[in-house]
Amino acid sequence: MTTADDVRTAVSLAAATLRTAVGRDWHVPADGLTWSCWETVEHIADDLFTYAAQVASENTPPDSHVPIGWRRSRPDGPALTIYSEDTKNAEGLVQVLESSGGLLAAVVTVAPPERRAFHPYGASDPAGFAAMGVVETLVHLHDVAVALDLPWAPPEELCDRALRRLFREAPTTTGRWPTLLWATGRGDLPGHPRRTDWKWDGTPA
């Protein structure tokens, strides 16, 4: 089961990797996306915050997100509630990421395990939202790391727990990080067709 500690680990590893590149241009396109690396990191932080908001509420709407406002800074950019006020301070953006990850981890820790909250890929419980936060962090950091030429290979056991929760149809005997990239349409896996359309299943087993 994916836990709050897994969220903390994923975000901590992502932050440490990003801090090795604070002097680089984060406004170049992220790999495979129409967003810049900067926007992609904001998107990770925004997802972590949004998942925390969903799980934190005792009265989450059963068929929609908590109605928190959002905006796009440009037509092709991500829709965001959480973003950095300074588009040149990379360290500040990393702090935004860490804060959002801390919020999700804290909420997952204290929320009743039987709580259910809306997600378009299936109503989920706190452990499911933790797994979503881990996947968003790991795979979107991959998009940034490729663009910025940064090494990025998260722990196999971390990937495995997220895969088992959200991608139950995924192979179980292949490398966990390559399999997570395959499951999210970002890589090839021997013996399996490349995914061009994918989504996870967040519903509790």
Domain annotation covers residue 158: yes
pTM: 0.97
Residue 41, helix vs strand vs coil: helix
Domain containing 91: what range?
4-183
| Cβ-based burial of 3 (10 A; exposed 0-12, middle 13-18, buried ≥19) | middle
Count Cα neighbours of 93 within 13 Å in the Cβ-side half-sphere: 24
pLDDT (tens digit per residue) in 27-62: 999 999 999 999 999 999 999 999 999 999 888 888
- Cα separation, 196 vs 32, whole angstroms: 12
Residue 83 lies in a domain: yes
Contacts of 173 (CB under 8 A, 6+ apart): none
Could you tell me the CATH number of the domain that includes residue 95?
Answer: 1.20.120.450
Looking only at Cα atoms, what is the longest distance across the chain? Answer: 45
Bigger pLDDT: 88 or 108?
Answer: 108
User: Number of folded domains in the chain?
Assistant: 1
Hey, is 157 helix, strand or coil? helix
Per residue in 144-192, pLDDT tens?
A: 999 999 999 999 999 999 999 999 999 999 999 999 999 999 999 998 9
Does residue 199 sit within a domain?
Answer: no
Distance of CA 149 to the CA centre of its chain: 20
Tell me, yes or no, whether 72 lies in a domain. yes
- Domain contains 204: no
Q: Is residue 189 part of a domain?
A: no
Residue 48 lies in a domain: yes
Whether residue 191 is contained in a domain is answered as no
